[in-house]
Copies of this chain bind each other. A is one copy, B any other.
Amino acid sequence: MNSAELIKQIEQKRSFLCVGLDTDITLIPSRFKTEKDPIFSFNKAVIDATLPYAVAYKPNIAFYEALGPAGWDSLQKTMEYMPKDVFSIADAKRGDIGNTATKYAQTFFDPTCAGFDFDSVTVAPYMGEDSVSPFLHFSGKWVILLALTSNPGSTDFQQLKDANGVPLYENVMRKAMEWGSADELMFVIGATRSDYMTKVREIAPDNFFLVPGVGAQGGSLADVAKFGMNKKVGLLVNSSRGIIYAGDDTAVSAAREAKKVQEEMNQLLDLYYK
C-alpha cells in the first residue's frame, strides 16, 4: 500500500487508528477457547468489530511465534482474512544484516516465501544501514524503524547524547532518512511526551510515525495529533489492550472502544488536518 492509498483510507474513515493484535490465549474471552483456532477466531471478531474505525492492524509477532507452528497458522489465517484495503504491520522488530535481513524481509513481504504479504514490518536500527536497507525498496512496502520508544528502557540508549548533544534516536532518524524516502520509511515514536513529538516532527517532517503508548500506556492522543500531525496526516496511533480486551463480548466492546478513539480522531483531523 502506498502513502496515497493509506491517506485515502484515513480520510474515508476519519481515523488514523491502528489496532494491535497482541492476541494472548490466556486473555481472550472464554467462548473463543472452545473454537478450533481460538486465536484466529478472536482476531476475526476484533477485525469485524473495529474495521469501520481502524485503518491499520498490527499483529505482534511474538504472540504467534511463541505458539509454534499453530501460532504461525493462526497468523496466516488472520492475514488472509484481513481486508486488503487496510494497512498491515508485522510488529517483529527484526534486525540483522545482509542476506539474513533479506530473509526476514521475504518472510513478511514476499507471499511466495512464508505466505505473508504485510504492508510493513517494524525493524530495529542497532546494526546500521546494512541491517535496514534490505527491507527497503520492496515496491509498496514499508519499513517502520524503531526511533524513540515509550518504554522506561528508552532512556538507556535511545536518549544517550553524542558529543554534539544529539541523542541517539535523532541520529537514527537522520541517518535512516538518507537510506529511504518518506514513502517507504516510517518511525516508531513513543507518545508519552509532547515535547519529544515536536522535536521528531521537526527532524522528519514528511514521514509517518507509528505511535504506541496512547491509552493504556498513558500518552495523550490530543497532544500526539497537535504536535505530530503533518500535511499528509503522518500518524498511525496504535491501541492494543484498550480495544481488544475491553470486555467479554468482543464484538460489542472492541467496536465501542475503537469507535470512541475514532470519534476523537475525527475531531483532531478537523483541527489539524486541512
A residues with a Cβ closer than 8 A to B are 22, 24, 60, 62-63, 65-69, 71-73, 76, 91, 93-101, 103-104, 106-107, 113-115, 124-132, 146, 149, 151-158, 160-163, 165, 168, 171-172, 175
Pair B97/A62 contact, Cβ less than 8 Å: no
- A127 adjacent to B107 (CB under 8 Å): no
CA distance A127 to B153 in the complex (A): 6
Query: Who on chain B is nearest to A71 by CB?
Result: B114
Which of chain B's residues has its CB closest to A152's CB? B130
CA distance A129 to B165 in the complex (A): 22
Measured CB to CB, the nearest residue on chain B to A165 is: B163
**How often does this chain occur in the complex, in copies?**
2
* Partner among B69, B95, B113 whose Cβ is within 8 Å of the Cβ of A66: B113
Q: Is there an interface contact between B149 and A172, defined as CB atoms closer than 8 Å?
A: no
Known A126-B124, A155-B128, A160-B171: A149·B97 in contact at CB below 8 Å: yes
Cβ of A220 to closest chain B Cβ, rounded Å: 20
Min CB distance A112 to B, Å, is 10
Q: Is the CB of B103 within 8 A of A62?
A: yes
B165 adjacent to A151 (CB under 8 Å): no
Q: Give 22 pairs: A residue, B residue, CB < 8 Å, sorted on A.
A: A22-B99, A24-B99, A62-B104, A62-B107, A63-B100, A66-B104, A68-B76, A68-B113, A68-B114, A69-B69, A72-B72, A93-B96, A97-B153, A124-B124, A126-B126, A126-B158, A127-B149, A127-B154, A128-B155, A162-B163, A163-B165, A168-B168
Compute how far the CA of A22 lies from the CA of B100 in the bound complex, rounded to whole angstroms: 9
The residue in chain B whose Cβ has the minimal distance to the Cβ of A166 is: B160
Q: Which residues of B contact A100 (CB under 8 A)?
A: 22, 60, 62-63
How far is A161 from B127 in the complex, measured between Cα atoms in Å?
15
Output the nearest chain B residue to A131 by Cβ-Cβ distance: B153
Cross-interface CB contact of A115 among B62, B68, B76, cutoff 8 Å: B68
- Given known A103-B66, A114-B65, A114-B67, contact A98–B151 (CB-CB < 8 A): yes
Report the separation of the CA atoms of residues A104 and B98 in the bound assembly, to the nearest whole angstrom: 23
Contact call B97/A95, Cβ cutoff below 8 A: no
Residues of B within 8 A of A71 (CB): 114
Q: If the complex has contacts A63-B103, A106-B66, are A157 and B172 also in contact, measured as CB distance less than 8 A?
A: yes
CA distance A153 to B129 in the complex (A): 5
- Residue in contact with A96 in the complex, picked from B62, B130, B152, CB distance below 8 Å: B62
How far is A78 from B93 in the complex, measured between Cα atoms in Å?
25
